Structure 1
Amino acid sequence: MTALTRRQALAAAASTTALAACATPGTVTGGKRPLGKAETDTLIDRITDRFLRFNPEAASSNNVDKGRWGALKGQLGDRSPAGQARYAAGLREDLAVLDGADFAALDHSTRTTLEVIRSTYRTALEGFALPYGDVAVGGWRNTPYVVIQNTGAYLDVPRFLDTDHLIETREDAEAYVSRLAQYPAVLDGELARMQDAAAKGLVPPGFLIDKAITQMSRSAEDAAKGGGLVESLVRRTREKGIAGDWDRRARAIATGQVAPALQRQIAELRRQRPRATDQAGMWARPGGDAYYSWALRASTTTAMTPEEIHQLGLSTLDALHARMDPLLRQLGLAQGSVGQRMRALAVDPRYKFADGDPGRAQIMAFIQERLGIIRKELPRAFRTLVKGNLEVKRLPPEEEPGAPGAYGGPGSPDGKIPGKFWINLRTTDLHSRVSLPDLAHHEAIPGHVWQGEYTFQLPLIRTLLAFNAYSEGWALYAEQLADELGVFDDFPAGRLGYLQSIAFRACRLVVDTGLHAKRWTREQGVQFFVERNGSNPLEVASEVDRYCSWPGQACGYEIGHQAIVRQRERAQAALGSAYDLRDFDDAVVLGGNVPMDVLALNVGEYIRGKGGRA
C-alpha cells in the first residue's frame, strides 16, 4: 500500500487551503470585515455542513442524516492520512474566514458560537501539525496512538452502528450495509497512520499493545463469525418488518473483508510489540514533551504547566481528605489514612453488589433508583428544565477490559436516540453503593446527558463541538450540585463516595502529570490512587492505562470543575441577594459547551443582565 506520509499530506493540504482562502468571495485584506447577522448565519451553516461531511457519524448520532445530509447516512469518516489532511485543510480554510471577521456588531450568543468554532479549530490545527496522533475536533479524546486499547475504529464503528445508526426503513438498512462495506477501508486507513507513526519512532507502551491485541482479537473472531455486526442489522430489520437478504450480505462483508482488515491491524501491533517498552509517559516518545504540552492545552483550555497542575492536584486532594475524615469517623472508621479507611468502606458487605449476573441486575436497578431521587430535586437548581432522555446500557463485553468504569453523553436533538449511560460490568466489584450514585450524577443526570440536552437549543454546530474542561468540569459540578441538593443527607457513605470521586479527579492531576512529565511508572500511578485515595485497584489499573493513551485528558475534569465554581463565587459576590442558583446554572448550561475564557464572558453577561457589575 502506498500512502502519503502525514507531513506530506498536511503540506499538500496547506497549499490547497492557501489558494482556497485567497479565493474566498468577499474577503477583505488589511483589516477585519464586519459580519452582519444574515451573513453570519450563512457562514455558520456552511461550517456546520463541512464539519458533518468530514464526520458523517455525527450526522447519524444527532439524527440529522436526512434531507440535505441524507447521503451521509451511508458513509463513515475517512481515517486515512489523506483524509486527515483534507480535514485539516477544511478547518484551516474556515478558520481563515473567522480570523478575518469582526464580530463586534453581533449579539452575544452569536459571538459565542463563532468564538467556540474559532477556539476549537485553532486547537485542532495545532494538533494536526504534530507529527502523529488522532485529533478530536470539538471532542474530548486526543491521543498519540491511532489504535490502542481504548481507541480505534475496531471499537467505535461496531458500537456506533448498533446504537446510533437508526434502522426504520429499507434505505436505513441499505445505508448500514454501505457503512459496513466501508469499515475495512477505515481500518486500513488507520493502519497506514499506525505504520507512519511507528516509522517516526512512536510505539505505544507494551502493556497497552498487549491489551489492544487481546481486545482486537475478540473483535476479529466475532467478525469472522458474522457476530454483532450482522446480528444488529438482522435483528432490527426483522423488528421493523423490512424484508431483504440482510444476513447473507452483511455476513459476506464481515467475514470476507472486516475480519481480514482487523487481522492486518493485529499483525501491525504484533510487529511493533518487540520494539515496545513499558515506559508509560509521553516523555519517552519522540517529540513527547511538545505533544503533552499541546494535549494539556487542548484538555484544560488553559496554559497551566504540568508542574502547576501537579501541585494543584496535591493541594486539592489534601483539602478533600480533610472533609472526608470526620465523615469516616461518623461511620466508625477512625484508624488509618483516609485512603485506607475508604478501602475498608469499599469492601464492607453492606455496600457491595452480588457477583455475576444477579449483581449486574442489582447495579442496573440501583442506578435507576438513584436517578429517580435526583430528578425530583432538579427544579431547585434550574429554571429551564430538559427531559434528561436517558438509556442505561452495559458496555460491549469486548470493550470492557480497556474501558473506564462508565461514560455517558446526550442523544439526538429530536429525542429519537436517547442519551447513554454506558456502565462497565465486566465484574460487579468495579462498583459499590458508595460510589455508584455519584457516578450516575456525573455521567447522566445532572451531568453529561443532562447538560448535553441544553445544546439542542443552540445552532447545530454547538451540539457537535465540545470542550473537555467544560464537559467534564460540568459533570463534576453536577456531582457537587447533587450533594448540595441533599441527595446524600441521609446517606453519609454516599457523600463519602461523592467526595472520594472529586478526590479521584484531584489524583488524576497528580498521576497524569506524573506519568507524562515526571517519568512515573504505570505502577507508581496505580499505587498513588490506591494508597492516597483508597481507590479500587481493579478500576484504577484501567484508569492509569487510559491516561497513558489519552495524555492530558484526565486533567480537564478538576480544572474545569474549579473554574465553574470560581465563576459561581464571582456571581454570588457581584449579585449578593439578587443571586439565585437557578439563574447561574441556567447561564452555564444555556451558554453551551465553551472554553473556560468564554465561560467567564457568559457569566459576565448573566451578571450584567441581573444588574450586577461583572
Structure 2
Amino acid sequence: MTTRRSFMGGTAATVALAAAPRAAMAAETPLTALFADLLQAQLRRNPEGATNLGLDTGADADLRARLSDQSIAAMATNRAATLAEIKRLEAIDTATLSADEKIDLACVLYTRRSAARVQAFSFGGTAYGPTPYVVSQQSGAYQSVPDFLDTKHKIDGAGDADAYLRRLTAFAGQLDAQTERMRRDAGARVVPPDFILDLTLEQMGKLRVPAADALVVQSLARRAAAKGLAADYGAKAGRIWDTAVLPALDRQIAQAKVMRATATHDAGIWKIPEGAAFYPAALQSTTTTSLSPEEVHRFGLEQATALNARLDTELKKLGYSKGSVGARMAALGREPKYLYPDSDAGRAQAIAYCNERLAAIRGKLPAVFERMPPYAFEVRRVPPQTEAGAAGAFAQPPSLDGSRPGLVYFNLRDINDWPTFALATTTYHEGLPGHQMEGGLALSNTRLPLIRKIGGFSGYGEGWALYAEQLADEIGMYADDPVGRCGYLVAQLFRANRCVVDTGLHHYRWSREKAVQYFVDQQGDPVSDASREIDRYCVNPGQAASYKLGHSTFVAIRDKAKARQGARFDLKAYHAAVLRYGRVPLDVLTQIGDEWIARG
C-alpha cells in the first residue's frame, strides 16, 4: 500500500527548487505558477506533509511547530478551497500547453475534483482514502501523531526540540477537534461498527500511559540528550502529556465509548445516511475508474476464477491435490518449515529475510528498467503499539533530503500470518519493484512538477505494485522457489477477492462474518489475518478494489503492445513509458499507453 501509501519525497535538488523564490525560477508559465500556488496552499494546510517533504524551511519554517487544523471550521474552509482551486485549474487554456503539461493538468485537476466529490459529504475523514469515520483503528490523530513525532520530526537543535513541544501541545488540540467531529457525526447517525470501535478503544488504551512510558515523551528526551541539548526537554514533554494530551485523549475515549454504546454490528457504509451515495464516490476516488459497484464485483469474480485455476495447477505440483484451493493454501501456511518462531527473535528473523529478498531483487532490476531509483530502502516491523489496527504491510517514502530511507513495514502481531512465501511477494509489492520503485523513479524525475510527485492515485500505485509481484515471478525470483510462486498467485487471488468483498460489504450488505469467511474459504487466510483485512475495508471503502483494477490496466497495455509490436516489443521501453509521468488516473494511463504503442 502508500501515505501511508501516498509516496512523498524527492531529492535535495528538488527541495532547493521547490524552496527557491519565484523570481529565481526560469521560464515560469501560468500552469507552473498555478501549481506553485496550489502546492504552497497545500503545505500551509498540512504542516505534517511539509515536514515529510523537508519543506518546513525558509518562509515555511513556522510549519515545523504546527499540526494541521482538524476542526469542523477547517473542514469547511478546505472544501471551499478545493472548489476555488478547481475553477483556477479549469481556467487554464489547454491550447497553450505541451502534451506533457496537459497530462500534468489533467492529473492535478482530477485530484481536486475527486476531493470535491468526497468533501461534499459533511462527515468522515481520511486514512488510506476517503473514510466515513473521523476516528477509527486506522485514522485519527491518536493513531498518526505519535509515530509522526517520533520518526518524522527531526531533532537537530534546540529550535527543533522547542518546535516538537509546540507540536505536542497541538496534538491535544487535534484530539479535541476530532472528538468534536466524532460527536457531530454521531448526532447524524454516522457511527463506526461496534467491532471497529472496540479496536479503536484498544489502541487508545495502549496510548494512554504515564508520561514516563509515553513514546512521544521518551522520543524527545532521548534525541535531545543525543544532541547535547538541555536536560529538561523530557520533563517539559511530560508536563504537556499529563496536562494537555492525556485529558484530551480521555475526552476522545469517553466519546468513543458513548458511540460504542449505541453502535450496531453492520459492517458496510450502506447503513449510514448518504452511505449509498458515499460508496460510489469513494470507489471512484480510490480506483480512478467510473465502474459501478456491480461491475467491480463481477470483475473480481472473473479474475478470481482464472487465478484459482492457475493456483490449483501449482499446488498439485507440490503434492497438494485434495480440497479447495483455499484449504490447500491454509495447509501450506501451517507447515512449520515456512513459519518463524512466535518471539521477538522470530520476528527479527522475518524482517531480516525480507531485507535479504529486497537486496536480491534489486540486483536483477537493471535488466528490465532503464533507470533505478537513487534511494536506500529497508524493511521494518510495525511498532507493537499500533499493530492491532494497522494494515498487514505498507510503504513509506524516503525523505526529500535523503536522510531517511524508503521504508516497508510488516505487521507481525501474529507471526503465523506471515509464512515465508507470503513475506517475499509482499516485499516485492511494497518495496522493489513495487511502491518504492515507482515512487522513487517519480521522485527523481526532473520533469515532473513537485505537486505531481507528492500526489497519488491508488489505482495506479497499487496496480503497479501488483504488477511488480507479477514481474518478480517473470524475472526469476521464484525459479527455485515453487512455494513462493504459490504465495505470489494467492496474493493475486487475494486482490481479486478484495473486489468481491469490498463491494459485498458496502453495496450488497454482507456481514463482517461473511466477508471474513469468504477470505478464509477462498484463499486459506487465517481468521486473524482475514479479520484485520476486513476491518480495514470497513473504514476505507473502495480502496481495496483499486489493486486488481489497476493491475489489469498495466497488463492490458503491455499485452496490447506485445500484440502490435511483436518482436520489437521492449520491456524496458514499456516500463519507461508507463512510469514516465508518475502516478496518473487509470484512464490517463490507458491514453499514455495507447499513444506510446502508436509511436512504436
Aligned to 2:40: 49
- Structure 1 pair 341/377, CA: closer, same or farther in 2 (3 Å)? same
Shift of 1:307: 1.2
293, 301, 314: which one aligns with 2:280: 293
5 Å-filtered alignment, 1:440-451, equals: 440-451=427-438
Aligned to 1:103: 94
Contact 1:413–1:453 under 8 Å retained in 2: no
SS at match of 2:378: strand
Aligned to 1:114: 105
Q: 2:217 and 2:580 mapped to 1: Cα distance?
A: 40
Whether 1:83 and 2:70 are equivalent positions in the alignment is: no
Shift of 1:607: 3.1
Tell me which moved more, 382-391 or 325-334. 382-391
Q: 1:579 and 1:43 mapped to 2: Cα distance?
A: 38
Contact 1:389–1:449 under 8 Å retained in 2: no
TM-score (norm 2): 0.93
Whether 1:353 and 2:340 are equivalent positions in the alignment is: yes
* Superimposed CA distance per residue, residues 246-276 of structure 1 (whole angstroms, 9 cap, x where no aligned partner): 1111111111111111111110011111211
Contact 1:225–1:255 under 8 Å retained in 2: no
Aligned to 2:289: 302
Aligned to 1:187: 175
Amino acid of the structure 1 residue aligned with 2:487: G
- Structure 1 pair 135/215, CA: closer, same or farther in 2 (3 Å)? closer
Aligned to 2:29: 38
Whether 1:371 and 2:361 are equivalent positions in the alignment is: no
| Structure 1: gaps spanning 5 or more residues | 1-35
Shift of 1:244: 4.8
Shift of 1:289: 0.6
Contact 1:161–1:176 under 8 Å retained in 2: yes
Aligned to 1:573: 563
Shift of 1:340: 0.7
| Structure 2: gaps spanning 5 or more residues | 1-26
TM-score (norm 1): 0.91
Shift of 1:229: 0.6
Shift of 1:37: 5.5
317, 323, 330: which one aligns with 2:310: 323
Aligned to 2:222: 235
Aligned to 1:31: none
Whether 1:562 and 2:549 are equivalent positions in the alignment is: no
Whether 1:334 and 2:324 are equivalent positions in the alignment is: no
Contact 1:37–1:106 under 8 Å retained in 2: no
Aligned to 1:142: 130
Tell me which moved more, 81-90 or 258-267. 81-90
Aligned to 2:251: 264
Q: 2:268 and 2:284 mapped to 1: Cα distance?
A: 17
Amino acid of the structure 1 residue aligned with 2:175: L
Amino acid of the structure 2 residue aligned with 1:188: D
5 Å-filtered alignment, 1:384-395, equals: 384-395=371-382
Q: 1:420 and 1:84 mapped to 2: Cα distance?
A: 30
* Superimposed CA distance per residue, residues 546-602 of structure 1 (whole angstroms, 9 cap, x where no aligned partner): 111111111111111111111222222333333211111122222101111111232
Aligned to 1:531: 521
5 Å-filtered alignment, 1:432-581, equals: 432-456=419-443, 457=445, 458-581=448-571
Aligned to 2:188: 200
Q: 2:438 and 2:150 mapped to 1: Cα distance?
A: 24
Aligned to 1:93: 84
5 Å-filtered alignment, 1:582-593, equals: 582-593=572-583
Larger relative contact order (Cα-Cα within 8 Å, sequence gap ≥ 6): 2
Contact 1:58–1:464 under 8 Å retained in 2: no
Whether 1:362 and 2:352 are equivalent positions in the alignment is: no
Whether 1:176 and 2:167 are equivalent positions in the alignment is: no
Amino acid of the structure 1 residue aligned with 2:523: N
Shift of 1:388: 4.3
Shift of 1:604: 3.4
Contact 1:408–1:443 under 8 Å retained in 2: yes
Aligned to 2:153: 165
Contact 1:392–1:423 under 8 Å retained in 2: yes
Shift of 1:455: 2.1
Amino acid of the structure 2 residue aligned with 1:509: C
Contact 1:404–1:539 under 8 Å retained in 2: no
Contact 2:371–2:441 under 8 Å retained in 1: no
Aligned to 2:592: 602
Q: 2:119 and 2:49 mapped to 1: Cα distance?
A: 20
Which portions of structure 1, spanning 4 or more consecutive aligned residues, are displaced by more than 6 angstroms? Answer: none
240, 253, 278: which one aligns with 1:253: 240
Amino acid of the structure 2 residue aligned with 1:391: E
* Superimposed CA distance per residue, residues 385-416 of structure 1 (whole angstroms, 9 cap, x where no aligned partner): 11342232221212101122111132123212
Q: 2:209 and 2:350 mapped to 1: Cα distance?
A: 29
Aligned to 1:32: none
Q: 1:362 and 1:332 mapped to 2: Cα distance?
A: 28
Q: 2:353 and 2:528 mapped to 1: Cα distance?
A: 21
Q: Once superposed, what is the RMSD of the aligned Cα atoms?
A: 1.5
Shift of 1:206: 0.5
Amino acid of the structure 2 residue aligned with 1:533: Q
* Superimposed CA distance per residue, residues 154-200 of structure 1 (whole angstroms, 9 cap, x where no aligned partner): 11111111111122222222221111111111111111111111111
